Amino acid sequence: MSAAATLAEALKPLRADPARAAVLLDVDGTLAPIVRHADDAHVPEPTRAQLIAVAKRYGVVACVSGRQATTARRIVSLGSIAYVGAHGSELLRPGGTEVDLDADVAAHEDAVRSFAHDAWSDELHRLRVRREDKRAIAAYHWRGAPDEEAAEEAVRAVAERAQAAGLATHWGRKVLEVRPPVAIDKGRGVRRLLQAADVGAALYVGDDLTDLDAFAGLRDLAAEGRLEAVVCVGVRSDETPERLLEEADLLVDGPLGVRALLTALLD
């Protein structure tokens, strides 16, 4: 069976009743190619055009990102869909202006920001570690640093300090996130997004370990009888974690493969 035939078969439950289907996509590495400097990320116009068409046809369309919801919306440049930001802790509804922050996470926002202020150092600046303020999450990126090995070592010292302070740490691809000591994951965010939605089938597309939480969240909803069909798609690249490849129902090759998937949703 060809890859195209496999994709078409997998998408049948969504295409059968688009009004009751949810299409959920990660942003970086999925809709937008990974770039050396995160601020340069953008969704290519051909992909964006397909996403606009999908948003018009399907009942729920959302981007689920590790970035803040407002930042994800800027990168995608589409206001008519929902955004689940900061790994599930933020929810920005279609056309909304106010970001809804998970109450359990919000309770620790001041503590995380205070830690981030105190942990920043001249050494991190010299090594060109890039810090990112996601309200209740502080991120430290070293992708593109002149000496990535030294930068990572300095960031690991930040992680040890955060753990000693009672905060949670999470590692991604060349990034450390310091988080509140409460559950934060894309699965929780996806469940919150779909809580009141009338959907019977859901698709999730992602490329990193954090997307496994979204896979699990949707599969739990199916096990509870709240979804009739779930399709979890992994986006393959040189950096894709092995676990994602193993747990995905289907694989596509990079952002171009995601664009082909969006096209298949419209056929």
The arithmetic mean of pLDDT across residues 187-207, rounded, is: 96
Q: Where are the beta strands (DSSP E) in 146-253?
A: 168-172, 175-179, 201-206, 229-236, 250-253
Per the prediction, the chain carries an average pLDDT of 93
Per residue in 41-98, pLDDT (tens digit) is 899 999 999 999 999 999 999 999 999 999 999 999 999 999 999 989 999 999 999 9
To the query of whether residue 26 is one of the catalytic residues in this protein, the response is: yes
What is the C-alpha to C-alpha distance for residues 245 and 251, in angstroms, rounded to an integer? 7
Task: Tell me if 84 sits within 8 A of 65, measured CB to CB.
Answer: yes
Per residue in 100-138, pLDDT (tens digit) is 988 888 899 999 999 999 999 999 999 999 999 888 889
Q: Which residue has the higher pLDDT, 3 or 112?
A: 112
Residue 2: the pLDDT is 42
The continuous run of DSSP H or E covering 246 comes out as helix 242-247
From the list 184, 234, 182, the residue with the least C-alpha distance to 204 is 234
Q: Which of 17, 26, 198, 208 is catalytic?
A: 26
Q: Percent helix, strand and coil across the chain, each rounded to 5? A: 45, 20, 35
Structural domains in the chain? 3-102+185-266 (3.40.50.1000), 108-179 (3.30.70)
What is the C-alpha to C-alpha distance for residues 137 and 132, in angstroms, rounded to an integer? 8
What is the C-alpha to C-alpha distance for residues 41 and 75, in angstroms, rounded to an integer? 7
